[in-house]
Amino acid sequence: MHIFRRLILFLSSRHISYGLRMTLGVTVPAAVLAGYDMFLPGITASLGALCVGIADVPGTLSRKRNGMLIGGLLVFLVSFLTGICTSSTFLLFGLIILLCFVFSMFSIYGGRASNIGTACLLAMVFSVEGVRDFSQSLEYAGFMLAGGIWYFLLSVVLWQIRPYFSARQGLADCLLETAEYMRIKAAFYQNNPDFDKNFRKLVDIQIQINEKQEEVRELLLKRRSAIQGSNSVSRSLVMIFIESVDLLEQVMASHIDYRLLHARFEKTGILLQYRELIIHMANELEDIAAAVLSASRSYPRLNLGKEIEAVRHEVDDLKEEMLNSDTIDEFIALKNILRNAAAISGKIRMLHHYTHPDRKEARSPLGKDVELTRFTSHQRYDFGIFRSNLTFDSSSFRHSLRVTLAAVSGYLVSLMMAQDHSYWILMTVIIIMKPAFGSTKKRIYERLLGTVLGGLAGVGILVFVSQTSILLIILLLFIFLAFTFINYNYRLAVVFITPYVLILFQLLDPGNFEVVRERVIDTIIGGGIAFIASYVLWPSWEYLQLKTYLLDILEANREYFKQVARAYAGEPLIRTEYKLARKQVHVSTANIASALQRMLSEPKSKHKNASEIYSFVVLNHTLSSHIATLVVLLNRKPEQFEQKGFAVVIEKILGLLEQAGTNLKEEETESIAIELPEEFRLLDQKLHLLAEERMNEVRAGEQASKTQEELSLLQSLFDTFKNILTISAEISKHSQKIRV
């Protein structure tokens, strides 16, 4: 059922809409101009639409519009200049060097500019074939521009028809990834769980969650109507996003000692009931995602409150059998999990309400204590950034040099081979080369495998299908599938691209199967050149970049803890600063996890301190989960306890995290003792007194009492601060071992 629901949601996702938009954008110019006996100009216009489509990155209308307009004009200019230079091999090589370097450097300006650079390089590749004079080059570039204008108009019109569709798609993706995070959490409660594997999954999914959240901030929080709350739709979408981020923090706060829980309770079966409860909450979240995506209203399918109460009764029954001085801490943990589940259930209920823009909750004004504009990034585009990156210290500069030399080598090899489609080698090099060696290697593997499988599929289709009308239908289907999966599963996209190209050439030149061999050989040659260039030419090994990522996540967690700890030291919690710190933790966690994945795909000789770095990442993720627990506990008014004990341990934790950063920088520092401060031990003594008092109440048959609530809260606070102190000490110890 879960897989079926995900499939249905995928059919309404951005990948499908992008596939449909690109299919329309690419096929219509060729079809229309072919009707006027202008088949080749039609193909050229379709290529122009393809290039502008690459520059069509999700964002606000103004950013999309500006990106496509700039991309279209640059594509026109590149096509024109390349056409003029085709008459001179010397000029053409010079232009390839210039364009490859300049447009590869566009990555310093962010994802949108990077896509524009890729579009321009593809326009160059498409234009190197043949020899054209000035007028022919101008005509060719004009058709490229016409195709780009067509795609621009198509994209803008579709956006105007459904202005919130992209934001809804991004928001639905956020909710789905959060639901998947909850499912991974649920796996900790099944019998005989693989704890290490589940922890790795939690860290890995942070990458997807952060990417989706950043995209929604770009799509939603930069819209004036969303910030001002000027209409009910934009206001409700913003409220859903804010609530979903808070929900993720609430889910992260349920981090406990799962091994100890399983040792105590696995045989009782109670943990399986917790697992089922969490899965039901994840299902509710997926229902909300479906409602957001379809612009409909969602309603709870299950009464989560009743389910939580049912589990609570089971825990109470279990207490009568197993509660004693040895198990009281674990029973407090079980109760706290249910309390957290109730809070999550409340947020899910609010998310259901926010899908009804006419309801009171969705019409409430956006909180003025959180400055939404501070949560979005602002990209500068001045030339100073470009100039400052013209150094070998810049990874973008080294990558641009690699791409340039590899592209020139690829084009030189294609000229020496003197074949019909010499640009395929050049195209392969440009498409698969990435700044990191691991990413390039992954792309090479995916493109080679996809090309071979797609080539076999294409030959099979051409052998058994000869009717032109059926081939055209298959061609359209493969175009749609290729663009649908291009940003979702590159390997699968290549599987569809290859037969699409083969069928197209078969329609142009029936009976010629030589193109299959050429494409496979060119892909192998282009992949080989890209591999050698990435490995030999100023390679960007991830272990050389990891120190920055490690320091970032450490500083992010330190600032997150510092902001939250204010409330435990007698100071007010500043919501904007605390949420900005939380956002930075998510960003830093995703960055280091992604970098670690890339490092593990590199040669084993480059796996420097991989196990220690992974442990460091897991420790930091665990630390942020415990900090999130402190946020949740604020709702239970912890100020009733003596704050002096908290203040002392807070100072010690901040000192340990600062020491860890100093260790990573390989600077001298004095060691910090990790013993519990005397003031904090007084809280421990009070905890023991409350535990004895509570045991006496239980023996007397008293079920619920003020002592029980006070004990539960103090135990949670004490354990959380103690865990944070212990983890901070472990992080400091690991930082000494890493020495990146």
Neighbours of 460 (CB within 10 A): 11
| 211 burial type by CB count under 10 A (0-12 exposed, 13-18 middle, 19+ buried) | middle
103 — pLDDT class (breaks 50, 70, 90): very high
Q: How many domains does the chain have?
A: 4
- Average pLDDT on 325-340 reads 80
- The per-residue pLDDT for 643 is 59
Are 244 and 106 in a shared domain? no
**pLDDT for residue 97:** 93
500-529 average pLDDT score: 80
Specify whether 429 is located in the same domain as 473.
yes
Let me know whether 143 and 189 are in one domain: no
Residue-averaged pLDDT of the chain: 82
Tell me the backbone φ, ψ of residue 132, rounded to 5 degrees: -130, 145
Any domain includes 376: no
Residue 585 located in a structural domain: no
From 124, 145, 161, the end of a domain falls on 161
What pLDDT is recorded for position 371?
Answer: 64
At 100, is the pLDDT very low, low, confident or very high (cuts 50, 70, 90)? very high
* 176 and 141 both lie in a single domain: no
**Does the pLDDT at position 360 exceed 60?**
no
Residue 557 pLDDT exceeds 70: yes
Q: Are residues 657 and 642 in the same domain?
A: yes
Q: Any idea what the Cα angle at residue 480 is, between residues 474 and 482, rounded to 5°?
A: 100
**Contact between 483 and 22 (Cβ < 8 Å):** yes
Cα–Cα distance measured from residue 415 to residue 424, given in angstroms and rounded to the nearest whole number: 11
The set of residues, in sequence order, having a beta carbon less than 8 Å from that of 444 and lying 6+ positions away, is 432, 527, 530, 531
Report residue 386's pLDDT band, with 50, 70 and 90 as the boundaries. confident
Residue 138 has pLDDT above 70, yes or no: yes
Same domain, 720 and 631: yes
pLDDT in tens, 406-429: 999 998 888 887 666 667 888 889
Where residue 79 falls among pLDDT bands split at 50, 70, 90?
very high
> Residue 368: pLDDT above 60?
no
pLDDT at 738: 73
Query: What is the distance between the alpha carbons of residues 91 and 98, in angstroms, rounded to a whole number?
Result: 11
Q: Is residue 310 part of a domain?
A: yes
Q: Which pLDDT belongs to residue 740?
A: 47
pLDDT for 691: 65
Burial of 421 (0-12, 13-18, 19+ CB in 10 A): middle
Q: Which residues, other chains included, contact 148 with Cβ-Cβ below 8 Å and sequence gap of 6+? A: 48, 49, 51, 52, 68, 71, 72, 75, 76
436 lies in a domain? Answer: yes
Mean pLDDT of 528-541: 86
Tell me, yes or no, whether 426 lies in a domain.
yes
Among residues 161, 184, 202, the one where a domain terminates is: 161
Q: What is the pLDDT of residues 720-737, one digit of tens each?
A: 888 888 888 888 888 877
The C-alpha atoms of residue 514 and residue 495 are separated, in whole angstroms, by 18
Per-residue 3-state assignment (H helix, E strand, C coil) for 513-544: CHHHHHHHHHHHHHHHHHHHHHHHCCCCCHHH
Cβ-contact 288, 247 below 8 angstroms: no
**Whole-number pLDDT of residue 672:** 59
* pLDDT at 227 (0 to 100): 46
On whether residue 202 sits in a domain, the answer given is: yes
Asked whether the beta carbons of 495 and 43 are under 8 A apart, the reply is: no
Q: Are residues 180 and 309 in the same domain?
A: yes
Residue 38's domain spans which residues?
1-161
Residue 150 — very low, low, confident or very high, per pLDDT cuts 50/70/90? Answer: very high
- Average pLDDT value for residue range 61-73: 90
Answer yes or no: do 53 and 188 share one domain: no
User: 528: buried, middle or exposed (CB in 10 Å: 19+, 13-18, 0-12)?
Assistant: middle
Look at residues 47, 217, 200 and name the one whose alpha carbon lies nearest to residue 126. Answer: 47
Interacting residues of 69 by C-beta distance below 8 A, sequence separation 6+: 152
Q: What are phi and psi of 349, to 5 degrees?
A: -60, -40
* Stretch 301-316: mean pLDDT: 88
In a domain, 483, yes or no: yes
CA distances from 487 to 15, 27, 239, 462 (A): 7, 20, 28, 27
- Residue 167 pLDDT grade (very low, low, confident, very high; cuts 50, 70, 90): confident
Residue 193: predicted pLDDT: 87
Copy the structure tokens of residue 521. 């050989």
- On whether both 107 and 208 belong to a single domain, the answer is no
Tell me what the mean pLDDT of segment 629-646 comes to. 68
The contacts of residue 106 (CB under 8 Å, 6+ apart) are 113, 114, 116, 117
> pLDDT band for position 293 (50/70/90)?
confident
Which DSSP string do the residues of 637-661 spell out, in sequence order?
Answer: -GGGS-HHHHHHHHHHHHHHHHHHH
Read off the pLDDT of each residue in 331-350 and give the average, rounded to a whole number. 86
For residues 296 and 438, membership in a common domain is answered with: no
Assess contact for 150 and 45: CB atoms under 8 A: yes
pLDDT in tens, 206-253: 888 888 888 888 777 766 544 444 577 778 888 888 888 888 888 887
Does pLDDT of 144 surpass 90? yes
Q: Check whether residue 50 and residue 154 sit in a common domain.
A: yes
The per-residue pLDDT for 153 is 95
CATH number, residue 363: 1.20.58
Both 300 and 421 in one domain: the answer is no
In a domain, 697, yes or no: yes
Task: Please tell me the least confidently modeled range out of 460-469, 481-490, 553-562.
Answer: 460-469
pLDDT score of 226 = 47
For residue 468, the model assigns a pLDDT of 82
Contacts of 344 (CB under 8 A, 6+ apart): 247, 250, 251, 281
Q: Would you state the pLDDT for residue 183?
A: 92
Percent of the chain exceeding pLDDT 70 equals: 86
As separate numbers, helices (DSSP H) first and strands (DSSP E) second, the chain gives 29, 0
Q: How many residues does the chain have?
A: 740
Q: Which of 120, 137, 161 is the last residue of a domain?
A: 161
Percent pLDDT > 90 in the chain is 18
State yes or no: pLDDT of 460 exceeds 80: yes
